[in-house]
Amino acid sequence: MWGFRALRARAGHTAGVPYAMPQNYIPIFVFLLVAFAVAAGTLLVATIVRPRNPEKVKGMAYECGIEVQEGSRKRYTVRFYIVAILFVIFDVETIFLFPWAVQFKQLGAYGFVEMIVFLGILVLGYLWVWKKGALEWI
Amino acid sequence: MALAAMFMMVPSPFGAVDYRAGAPMILLTLFALGILCVDLFLPASRKQYSAAPALLGLFAAGLATHEIQRVLPANGDALRGFFGIILVDPLAVYFFYLFLVGAALSILISVKYLEIERENHGEFYALLLACVVGMMCMAAGNDLVMLFIGLELMALSSYILVGFLRGNKRSNEAALKYLLLGAFSSAILAYGLSLFYGVSGTTNLAVLCDALTQRMEANPHDPIVLLAMLGVLAGMLFKIAAVPFHMWAPDVYEGAPTSVTGFMSVSVKAAGWAMMLRVLLFGLAPLRALYVPTLVFVALATLLVGNLAAITQHNLKRLLAYSSISHVGYMLLGLVASDGVTSRTGIKGILFYLLAYTFMNLGAFTVLTSLRRRNIAGDDIEDIAGLMQKAPMEAICMLIFLLSLAGIPPFAGFYGKYFIFLSLIETGHYALATVAVLFSVVGLYYYLRIANAMFVRTPATSEPVTVAAGVNLALIFSAAATIVIGLLPNIFIRAVDWSVSVLGPSVAQLR
């Protein structure tokens, strides 16, 4: 399986042969083409077939909240940005957790310790943010 | 301790060599995190105490680097760690020391400066250490991903350091400009790196070198490789502020806190160079015929713009920014002349230049830092006028740094330029050598303009210049180093020779 030994061997200087990269991408390109064709085809057929009689009520917001009052380019409080940034940071953390969870058995106890160290640093950051008062909405 | 015990118990794929190679970076990371935690519990009036653990951390990292240096000969002159993604060889060790000294001097001059600016926070020192960790990853990275992560760690920390004066509009503007331009350049760099991964299927620099050799034999003008190379070059030239990727430098250097400007012009630039040398001489060595013409153009443009723009500057920080751009031009010529295999003089010149530059440029910024007083920004040429009457010791030190920057013989800067010009003549680039010498004459003019203001003109204000203890220490150390390196260059030439010893055989072996 994809263990540490395999990784070690890959990192060595002996593995000098480049992979056949482009061939591996052919199925992806085919998939992309099919996806685009389906989407474009459906829209095209719908445009040709559907009846067309626009009126004012049809153009109104429908069950999607209230009518827009003013422009969205206004100043709003910087706290939103702080919350957004904190969200991004801790959201990215889960991206790193996921592959570890998938490979949990292969990575074993060492992988677990590594992850604890990683989470430890993040928790430290979390505590720092907390103590600084960035989580409070004054 | 409990963590260490856990490490002992589980079967680890990494051994003592891995941890020894990574020790300086691991230590600095721990110190940075520690400073962040301790800072939370320091009262607002004692925030500057964080400078002490920061200096201690740099010292500990220095000891760890010395330990690496001690065991290197027994390990074939290179410690490979963590699946070979870091490669600590004499070249990396040399840069480690350079970063540590630069960071330590910057911390010494920051304490008083931040107090005057009322922005004394422990995070400053933590960020500085994080920045050094990133630089070390760039110097020791043997893997495209590692190099990129190191670059980003350094860049992200320095964006924040540039904008550290939160109440200052110029500082904020500088940080935003640097962030946006830096993000673009990183994206271009990452694109280039991904193309290299695409053509070779590897991120390891040594394997990439083999793959590129094969590819170059098949088609010496491979368009994908050319595109990838240009992307990577653009990203790296941005970090060392070479023309045409220099636009950010004057604005950012002017807006950033002066001590951070000093740090950026010296250590961040050295880190950019470490990555340049690592990538161009190790990974992209087979592309030398392709990148040298680009570098010749960039070097000449850098010399031209840097030197000519510096002449008209009134703001000292901007002036030194343009002067630092022009210094990059000289160093680039060293890379044009030498490939590290057939000729090493140019690489030696770059390394020696960076060493001398660390002390002379940071020294000049140390003097500027002490000019910052209540209500006086201290970065205009008017502020340094008549410095000889107010603070003779500072003025004389500044003169030493300026003469060294101009490349006048008894000082350190002379040997940096000497080796660069020597390498150009050795490899037959006579025209380039002539142009470079002519430009260094232009340099003399704007450096002596500052000296003229200090010694000939009368002070614009009567406000006295007081020099804090830390600033004084940094000033004396930088001045002493500038003189000692100039008077006894042999010791330092030996150190540089040792660090470039890694180049010839190992790079040739890969071919």
User: Hey, what are B77's tokens?
Assistant: 């002159």
Provide the domain limits for residue B427.
Answer: 20-503
Q: What's at A103, amino acid-wise? A: Q
Judge whether B293 and B237 are in contact, CB under 8 Å.
no
Cβ <8 Å between B11 and A110 = yes
Residue that wins the pLDDT comparison between B382 and B439: B439
CATH number, domain containing residue A92:
1.20.58.1610
User: Hey, what are A48's tokens?
Assistant: 């040709």
DSSP state string for A34-50 = HHHHHHHHHHHHHHHHS
Q: Which helix (H) or strand (E) holds B88?
A: strand B86-88
Q: Among A34-43, A52-61, B11-20, B33-42, which range has the highest average pLDDT?
A: A34-43
- Minimal CA–CA distance to B495: which of B333, B369, B354? B354
CA distance B474 to B363: 7
What is the rounded average pLDDT of the residues B319-328?
Answer: 94
Least confident of B7-21, B151-165, B469-483: B7-21
- Minimal CA–CA distance to B204: which of B145, B143, B139? B143
Give the count of Cβ contacts less than 8 A between chain A and B: 54
Judge whether B89 and B78 are in contact, CB under 8 Å.
yes
pLDDT-derived band at B27 (thresholds 50, 70, 90) equals very high
pLDDT at B404: 94
Domain count of chain B?
Answer: 1
Answer whether the bond into residue B244 is a cis peptide, omega within 30°: yes
3-state secondary structure of B284: coil
Q: In this structure, is residue A30 part of a structural domain?
A: no
CA distance A118 to A88: 16
- List the beta bridge partners of residue B315: B380
A81–B contact, CB cutoff 8 A: no
A123–B contact, CB cutoff 8 A: no
Cβ <8 Å between A16 and B207 = yes
By Cβ distance, the residue of A4, A10, A128 closest to B13 is A4
Q: In this structure, is residue A132 part of a structural domain?
A: yes
What's the distance, Cα to Cα, between the start and end of chain B in Å? 46
CA distance B122 to B44: 10
Domain count of chain A?
Answer: 1
pLDDT at A11: 47
Please give the C-alpha separations between residue B489 and each of B355, B418, B437, B485, B495, in angstroms, as whole numbers.
Answer: 11, 12, 21, 5, 10
| Rg of chain B (C-alpha set) | 22
| B-proximal residues of A, 41-70, CB under 8 Å | none
How far is C-alpha B467 from the geometric centre of its chain's CA atoms? 26
| CA distance to partner chain B, nearest, from residue A106 (Å) | 12
B484–A contact, CB cutoff 8 A: no
A2–B contact, CB cutoff 8 A: no
Q: What are phi and psi of B86, to 5 degrees?
A: -115, 145
Considering only alpha carbons, which residue of chain B is nearest residue A22?
A: B198
Q: In this structure, is residue A108 part of a structural domain?
A: yes
B42-85 pLDDT, tens per residue? 888 888 888 999 999 999 999 999 999 998 887 778 888 888 89
Cβ <8 Å between A21 and B201 = yes
What is the rounded average pLDDT of the residues B458-477?
Answer: 84
Q: In this structure, is residue A53 part of a structural domain?
A: no
Which residues does chain A have within 8 Å of residue B200's beta carbon, measured at their own beta carbons? 18
Q: In this structure, is residue B27 part of a structural domain?
A: yes
What is the rounded average pLDDT of the residues A36-55?
Answer: 91
pLDDT at B220: 84
pLDDT at A76: 79
pLDDT at B10: 65
Q: Which helix (H) or strand (E) holds B81?
A: strand B79-81
CA distance B261 to B131: 14
Cβ <8 Å between A16 and B210 = yes
Q: In this structure, is residue A134 part of a structural domain?
A: yes
| CA distance to partner chain A, nearest, from residue B11 (Å) | 6
Is the sign of the CA dihedral B449, B454, B459, B461 positive or negative?
positive
Judge whether B215 and B195 are in contact, CB under 8 Å.
no
| CA distance to partner chain A, nearest, from residue B195 (Å) | 11
Q: What is the 3-state secondary structure (H, E, C) of B386-433?
A: CHHHHCHHHHHHHHHHHHHHHCCCCCHHHHHHHHHHHHHHHCCCHHHH
Considering only alpha carbons, which residue of chain A is nearest residue B213?
A: A16
A74–B contact, CB cutoff 8 A: no
| CA distance to partner chain A, nearest, from residue B202 (Å) | 7
Residue that wins the pLDDT comparison between B294 and B469: B294
Q: What's at B387, amino acid-wise? A: L
In this predicted structure, the answer to whether residue B339 has a pLDDT above a threshold of 50 is yes
Cβ <8 Å between B207 and A108 = no
Cβ <8 Å between A11 and B6 = no
By Cβ distance, the residue of A11, A109, A128 closest to B10 is A109
Which residues does chain A have within 8 Å of residue B206's beta carbon, measured at their own beta carbons? 13
Provide the domain limits for residue A134.
Answer: 78-138
pLDDT-derived band at B226 (thresholds 50, 70, 90) equals very high
Burial class of B24 by CB neighbour count within 10 A (0 to 12, 13 to 18, 19+): buried
Residues recorded for chain B: 511
What is the rounded average pLDDT of the residues B130-139?
Answer: 95
pLDDT-derived band at A21 (thresholds 50, 70, 90) equals low
| Residue-wise burial string across B240-276, b where 16 or more C-beta atoms lie within 10 A, e elsewhere | bbbbebbebbbbbbbbbbbbbbbbbbbbbbbbbbbbb
- Minimal CA–CA distance to B258: which of B159, B172, B362? B362
- Stated pTM of the model: 0.86
pLDDT at B508: 44
B180-211 pLDDT, tens per residue? 999 999 999 999 999 999 999 899 999 999 99
Q: In this structure, is residue B15 part of a structural domain?
A: no
Cβ <8 Å between B211 and A110 = no
By Cβ distance, the residue of B10, B83, B207 closest to A13 is B207
A88–B contact, CB cutoff 8 A: no
Least confident of A6-20, A34-48, B243-257, B484-498: A6-20
CA distance B121 to B119: 6
Judge whether B38 and B53 are in contact, CB under 8 Å.
yes
Which residues does chain B have within 8 Å of residue A16's beta carbon, measured at their own beta carbons? 207, 210-211
pLDDT at B373: 77
Q: In this structure, is residue B346 part of a structural domain?
A: yes
How many CB atoms within 10 Å of residue B422?
A: 18
Least confident of B77-81, B126-130, B139-143, B356-360: B77-81
Q: In whole numbers, what is the pLDDT of chain B averaged over residues?
A: 89
A15–B contact, CB cutoff 8 A: yes
In this predicted structure, the answer to whether residue B423 has a pLDDT above a threshold of 50 is yes
| CA distance to partner chain A, nearest, from residue B52 (Å) | 20
A102-129 pLDDT, tens per residue? 988 888 888 888 899 999 988 998 899 8
User: Hey, what are B368's tokens?
Assistant: 């500027």
| CA distance to partner chain B, nearest, from residue A5 (Å) | 8
| Residue-wise burial string across B378-410, b where 16 or more C-beta atoms lie within 10 A, e elsewhere | bbbbbbbbbbbebbeebbebbbbbbbbbbbbee
Residues recorded for chain A: 138
B382-411 pLDDT, tens per residue? 888 888 888 888 899 999 999 999 998 889
CA distance A97 to B79: 30
Percent of chain B with pLDDT over 70: 96
Q: In this structure, is residue B305 part of a structural domain?
A: yes
